[in-house]
Amino acid sequence: MKMKNFIKTSLAVILMLSFSGCERFLEEDLKSELAPSNTFTSTYGFEVGSAGLYSLLRSEYNTYGEGGAYIHNAACPYEALQVATDIADAPASDGSLIPFANLTMNSETRFVGTFWNWAYSLIASANEILVFSEQNTNWDNPTDKARFQAEARFFRAYAYRTLIYLYGDVPYVETILYDFQLNFTRTPKAEVLGHIVEDLKFATENLPANPEQVLDGKLTKWAAYHLLSEMYLLQKEYVLAEQAALAVINSGYYGLMKTRFGVNKDKPGDAFSDMFLENNQNRKSGNRESIFVLQFQFNTVGGGTNSDDWTRRAWNPKYQDIGGFVLADTLGGRGLAQLVPMKWWVGTAGTNATGNIPGIFTNPDMRNSNYNIKRNWYYNNPAETALFGKKVNITDQTWTSTKSLFPAITKFFYGRTENLGLTGSYKDRMKFRLAETYLLLAEAYLGQGLPGKAAEAVNEVRGRAGASTVDASVMTMDFLLDERIREMIGEETRRFTLVRTGKYIERVRAYNDAIKGIVKDEHALWPIPQAIIDANRDAEFPQNLGYEKR
């Protein structure tokens, strides 16, 4: 599975971009020995194609250069899906991020196009596997065909999930389109969502069941059930969402990590922080909470590159700019503070920042420990003897002006002693884990008007954290969204969560001071890339409301 090479293919949407003179996002670079007609002739050939799907999925987090990072080629694609929500500010951040933070993005803004391109490249590769799997008769095992089709349909569903969250109605394509087309139309979101559900149902029936019997990072049916639960929530099929989440929870394969484990289990820390240490994401480390893990390992064929995942740099303060500090892997490596946590949820207690904002954590709560949110910072440069070991105060200036010091989310900390200026992260990334499955279950119960049952699901997660239990009287969607911050900050795509729950506009207006006066209903979607509209000249392809060219 861990192979960098993957089959590159074309889709009519890609041709549209090429025709319009836009950047090509999936270059035609087929060598004869890797042409689909030569590759997809055996189980091994489909393993090669399958590896390409996993590689493309990881490239969702790509930034500049290297390996598969041709998709975005700018600093902040991940961050663009976190800003303009209720969790993070982006003062004086990278220019590629600012239009999304202040809601001035338009149909020609970079990531508006690159996420579209990324999703359709993944769809094109999945469709290719599906088409050629129907033609191939040379399988090692009788279940191989259905297994590869299940993987392809999972990835196709995942890509369309991104598209409908960001753009609403989008063209639905389920096969290879060999003929040049300039007359695509936008398929209604509800119809695309129906196709997503069908793909995921197929995946639940045909992916492997036992996570002990698959390679690290490979899909099982439980990953499909997890995503299916989320998609049922988007459909407002709350009973079906409950059933899908419970299928994972009751499978017997997974459990919340409640005791210390893995590489540093005998060192200071806690069960929550253990999950985010390097080499603790996969099942072989003892982590039974991970359901689907993206593989970014250092120095591994098919693993990560220095440009694959900059989440750490996004959330980590620029402490290295303060005299008396030197870069250290124990402080998360080199931070750029593209994202600054909002005070309303993280709180200011224990700092010297102006005012005292309690935040949303109650005591005790493991997720608020200094192992998980670093609030206490100490000078660490031994050459500065007068400062070394002394505590540094967090102030409004260090938090929002210089961005040099603020409470930092440690789950993304990463550094290598041989390269402390490292930009990316080589740590595997938990894409789905059981704690979120419980929170999806709680959302399904709220949708059914069962706050008591929702509280029971949330209490499973809070219990692991050592937090107090809650009951039906406090179990609202806002409470659940706060709980998702406590548990999933930075892991979930916050924009998607707020859009799915119908709380995007309300929460932005309540908590995001920078844009609360300008956010409008239409900002729940991004614009359609202008290159797509311009190239589709033989059929009407309307722009999303509020983004029409003036």
pLDDT on residue 101:
98
Q: What are 279's two structure tokens? A: 């080499």
Q: How many CB atoms lie within 10 A of CB 411?
A: 23
Domains parsed from the chain with CATH numbers: 1-187+490-550 (1.25.40.390), 314-407 (no CATH)
pLDDT on residue 550:
55
Q: How many CB atoms lie within 10 A of CB 90?
A: 24
Cβ proximity of 423 and 310 under 8 Å: yes
Cβ proximity of 433 and 223 under 8 Å: no
Average pLDDT along the chain, 550 residues, taken 10 residues at a time: 32 33 32 72 96 92 69 91 98 96 97 96 96 97 98 98 98 86 93 98 98 96 99 99 99 98 96 97 97 85 73 93 95 94 93 87 96 97 97 96 97 84 83 99 98 98 98 98 98 98 98 98 97 92 90
pLDDT on residue 68:
52
Cβ proximity of 264 and 277 under 8 Å: yes
pLDDT on residue 302:
63
Cβ proximity of 164 and 192 under 8 Å: yes
pLDDT on residue 468:
97
User: Cα(first)–Cα(last) distance of the chain, in Å?
Assistant: 47
Strands 429-433 and 290-294: antiparallel
pLDDT on residue 5:
30
Cβ proximity of 529 and 112 under 8 Å: yes
Q: How many CB atoms lie within 10 A of CB 477?
A: 18
Cβ proximity of 101 and 90 under 8 Å: yes
- 0.75 surpassed by pTM: yes
The residue type found at 5 is N
pLDDT on residue 6:
30
pLDDT on residue 179:
72
Cβ proximity of 302 and 425 under 8 Å: no
Among 82, 57, 81, which Cα is nearest to 159's? Answer: 57
pLDDT on residue 300:
66
pLDDT on residue 418:
79
